[in-house]
Homo-oligomer: A and B are copies of this chain.
Amino acid sequence: MEQLQVIRTNQPKHKPNEDELGFGKYFSDHMFVAEYSSEKGWHDSRIIPYGPISLDPSAMVLHYGQEVFEGMKAYRGAEGDIILFRPDMNIRRMNRSCDRLGIPQVEPEWLLQAISKLVEIDHDWIPQRVENSLYIRPFIIATEPCLGVRASQEYKLIIITSPVGAYYSSGLAPVSIYVEDQYVRAVRGGTGEAKTSINYASSIKAQEEAKRQGYSQVLWLDGVEQRYIEEVGSMNVFFKVAGEVITPELNGSILPGVTRDSVIMMLKHWGIPVTERKISVEELFEAHQQGKLEEAFGTGTAAVISPIGAMKWEEQSIEINGGNTGEISGRLYDTITGIQQGKLADPLNWRHLIGKL
């Protein structure tokens, strides 16, 4: 690998108040940038002060959406470690996304080093409070200045980081969700299983409609029959039905979440039955009618575990577990965040240490 050039800022920014971080509003002092051209491959890696990038107005990403991204977090460990959570999973997924979007893949070890080095340089930006963290956003954009519809021959890989708050400032709070039966997020043969900007713009309308009706997230159904449950907002989704935990199987239109995978592994580690399969919305509401729907929760990097307290589908509104956080949801949240924060043992080897604070 070529030498990584580092240019440090001489105007470090004022750090935001840790009570008001929110999500993705503040950015640290530096960013990583690398360029791709067909001749040179990925090259010119550098860490430079965070700041605007310059794009030709005909840069392909602005017209045909050729983009992929990832989302992961760095935690300040109890013992002063800087901890990443399963970064290899994010890097592998990024390369699969690249493949779907016709974007050249990256060398996994090189990307991991880029992320590690960037976080190390901006380690002061990892929040102090244990429930906060530094969100890491690597992304690749097509930069060739051309309006032809085809794969770009030039790209930029950028990594930015953002100190973020806990989703739940005062403990887990169950959300209410709205089963979307009009808009569709993804369909088999589409890009649903890739982490790419193009899956998100289409969701804005649905999300706004759900908000207007008083729901905080949308539950997505499959694009073909609009019957099978896929995801919740930007999270994967799990249900506990009559003692068994179930989650939609990866079918090509669902994003394979790192948190989803971790939840499945942890449940198995605990000896709790968990099944990946098709789940129709009828089945779910029927289970509720029979008193068998015991818990529901979303999983994702931002919230880790997000208990679902209520759901609306067409004319039916149901409450789950009395609108409270379920036992498994709570246990998973405590365990996974505990591992991420370096407070608990790490039986499944998920922590990746990148240095000492």
Contacts and interface: CB of A to CB of B under 8 A. Distances in A.
Interface residues of A, number: 65
A148 to B, nearest CB: 5
A292 interface: no
A195 to B, nearest CB: 10
Interface in A223-270: 223-224, 226, 233-234
Most chain B beta carbons < 10 A, residue from A56, A147, A190, A224: A147
Given A64-B197, A149-B234, 18 more contacts: A23-B148, A31-B57, A52-B56, A58-B137, A62-B197, A63-B67, A65-B67, A65-B198, A65-B199, A66-B204, A102-B204, A102-B205, A102-B208, A149-B207, A184-B189, A187-B187, A196-B201, A223-B224
A197 B61 CA distance: 8
B190 A24 contact: no
Contact of A183 (B139, B189, B224): B189
A58 B205 contact: no
23 contacts: A25-B146, A27-B58, A52-B54, A53-B55, A53-B57, A58-B160, A58-B162, A61-B62, A62-B141, A63-B137, A64-B201, A64-B204, A65-B200, A66-B204, A102-B201, A150-B204, A150-B208, A151-B208, A182-B189, A189-B226, A190-B223, A198-B201, A223-B224
Identical subunits present: 2
Contact of A147 (B63, B67, B162, B199): B162
A305 B101 CA distance: 29
Nearest to A198: B198
Given A137-B63, A191-B201, A55 B52 contact: yes
A95 to B, nearest CB: 15
A226 B27 CA distance: 44
Given A187-B190, A223-B189, A160 B102 contact: no
